[in-house]
Amino acid sequence: MGNADSKRRASHGAGYAATIDTVQSMMSIDQNMIQKLKEHMMKQMKDGLEREGQTINMIPTFVGKVPTGNEKGQFLAVDVGGSNFRVVKASLPGDGVSNIRLEEVKEPISEEIKTGTGEAMFDYIAEGIKKFVPEACEDGEDMPLGVTFSFPIDQTSIDSGTLNRWTKGFSASGVVGVDVCKLLNEALLRKGVKRVKVAALINDTTGTLASGGAGNPSCFIGLILGTGTNAAYVEDTKKIKKLSAEQIGDQDKMLINTEWGAFDQERLVLPITKYDNALDMRSPNPGQQIYEKMISGKYLGEIARLVIEDLTFQKQIFTSQQVVPEKFATPGAFETMYMSGICLPGADLKAYFETELKIEGTTAAEREMVKKVCEMVAVRAARLASSGLCAIMEWIGQTEKCTIAVDGSLYCKFPGFKEKMESVFREQYPGKDIHTIESIDGSGKGAALIAAAIQK
């Protein structure tokens, strides 16, 4: 009996190893793949800079430079785009970003506000600004306002942009196709806030670059890597051929919001697996944002779940379980935060499986297999994201020294994600000074810094 058990364990061990090798080959992003990804992304970036309606939108922000950190004065920022909106007052001392003082207040956005009239919604936002800075209603110094409006915007200047469509459950009437900055300025006047006016319209990615890059002349790229993903960077205006000379003015640089989540929508180079296809088919937007679905925190847990569910059906894992464990059988149940817990160095996997995943009776080999699947999915995401960053660095000619400002829960909280990303830079540009830094509060501090830089 003992010999039979030993043989069975050995057989399972060999099977596990073969299975892991198969998954590894599907998830691998090698040097040849990185080169293909870089070349294709640079082509799609060029297309987006030259013409509207391309796969990667490459949206001009009309922000001409990254703030220096020497901006002075009091500036406001408002961040709209979820279940709350946030008003931030930033006091900029002019001696670096580390000494910036921030005060903030959050206000809830009810379903009634989200689905009512646009006038009511912008009046509500203006009331929130008025409550936070009542002194702005009286005579005194103007307080320029940076606005982060996290919806699809067709931006036409630094302080104007029309709403392309509502997302995230918003449907307020009279806003789509209208300049959101104009609507907010009008609401501020209606509410008696006379000394506040929109100075800059940005998105969170542009703000991340501004917040992380202020005072850092080698910071050329901002990256969001959380629930979703996007990148912004500093571009030479001569490459932005879809803008007229009048729109560019005398600026030689401009921040570009890439909207890179849609990269390779045509599926020409991305190494898409059957698990990616299954996730995409079940998503609310099948066929769209393919790159984002392979990288960002909203999706990684589900990709890992699909792999583990498939391995269970193949009887490669959880063979002693009567049914597929609920966390791996239910779409959306295995979130990326569980991957983080499993991949945490030194984690007690048996206790984690029992307390967090509610799965008992697993073997050490099974737990290790789940961990390896999670690590493979995370490594693939990190390498895909870094491949895109390498494309941007090569496009702008900054492969000797470049700092990338990053914000988002995946980058900030997933164990070792930063290191997984930076290993690609060492492979691609050995000996060069290329690294990532955490950029905090781009939608608040970054928006205020851009408003200040514009005024300056």
| Per-residue pLDDT at 3 | 47
3-state secondary structure the chain: CHHHHHHHHHHHHHHHHHHHHHHHHHHCCCHHHHHHHHHHHHHHHHHHHHCCCCCCCCEECCCCCCCCCCCEEEEEEEEECCCEEEEEEEEEECCCHHHCEEEEEEEECCHHHHHCEHHHHHHHHHHHHHHHCHHHHCCCCCEEEEEEECCCEEEEECCEEEECCCCCCCCCECCECCEHHHHHHHHHHHCCCCCEEEEEEECHHHHHHHHHHCCCCCEEEEEEECCCEEEEEEEEHHHCCCCCHHHHCCCCEEEEECCHHHCCCCCCCCCCCHHHHHHHHHCCCCCCCHHHHHHCHHHHHHHHHHHHHHHHHCCCCCCCCCCCCHHHHCCCCCCHHHHHHHHCCCCCHHHHHHHCCCCCCCCHHHHHHHHHHHHHHHHHHHHHHHHHHHHHHHHHCCCCEEEEEEECHHHHHCCCHHHHHHHHHHHHCCCCEEEEEECCCHHHHHHHHHHHHHHC
CB atoms within 10 A of CB 234: 21
Active-site residue among 79, 159, 179, 204?
204
pLDDT band at 45 (very low <50, low <70, confident <90, very high): very high
Q: How many CA atoms lie within 13 A of 311 on its CB side?
A: 27
Q: Which of 55, 22, 59 is nearest to 291 (CA)?
A: 55
CATH of the domain at 95: 3.30.420.40
Q: Tell me which residue range forms the domain holding 174.
A: 60-215+440-455
pLDDT at 184 over 80: yes
**Number of domains observed in the structure of the chain:** 1
pLDDT at 304 over 60: yes
Q: How far apart are CA 327 and CA 62, in angstroms?
A: 46
Whether residue 27 lies inside any domain: the answer is no
pLDDT tens by residue, 242-276: 999 999 989 999 999 999 999 999 999 999 999 99
| Mean pLDDT score, 370-392 | 97
| Per-residue pLDDT at 16 | 61
pLDDT tens by residue, 213-250: 888 999 999 999 998 999 999 999 999 999 999 999 89
Whether residue 106 lies inside any domain: the answer is yes
Q: Are 425 and 432 within 8 A, CB to CB?
A: yes
pLDDT band at 98 (very low <50, low <70, confident <90, very high): low
pLDDT tens by residue, 390-419: 999 999 999 999 999 999 999 999 999 999
| Per-residue pLDDT at 432 | 97
Q: Are 404 and 435 within 8 A, CB to CB?
A: yes
Whether residue 252 lies inside any domain: the answer is no
| Per-residue pLDDT at 138 | 58
Tokens found for residue 351: 């206790």
pTM check: above 0.85: yes
36 labelled catalytic: no
Whether residue 313 lies inside any domain: the answer is no
* Spatial CB neighbours of 111, under 8 Å, sequence gap ≥ 6: 169
pLDDT at 136 over 60: no
pLDDT at 90 over 60: yes
| Range with the poorest average pLDDT among 107-111, 131-135, 154-158, 206-210 | 131-135
| Per-residue pLDDT at 163 | 92
| Per-residue pLDDT at 453 | 85
| Per-residue pLDDT at 89 | 87
| Mean pLDDT score, 194-215 | 90
201 exposed, middle or buried (CB, 10 Å; 0-12, 13-18, 19+)? buried
pLDDT at 13 over 80: no
| Per-residue pLDDT at 328 | 96
Active-site residue among 168, 241, 358, 413?
168
| Range with the poorest average pLDDT among 333-342, 357-366, 372-381, 439-448 | 439-448
Whether residue 162 lies inside any domain: the answer is yes
| Per-residue pLDDT at 74 | 83
Whether residue 375 lies inside any domain: the answer is no
| Per-residue pLDDT at 139 | 59
pLDDT at 133 over 80: no
204 labelled catalytic: yes
pLDDT at 95 over 80: no
Whether residue 168 lies inside any domain: the answer is yes
Q: How far apart are CA 406 and CA 441, in angstroms?
A: 10
Q: Which of 8-12, 89-93, 225-229, 352-356 has the highest mean pLDDT?
A: 352-356
| Per-residue pLDDT at 319 | 86
pLDDT band at 70 (very low <50, low <70, confident <90, very high): confident
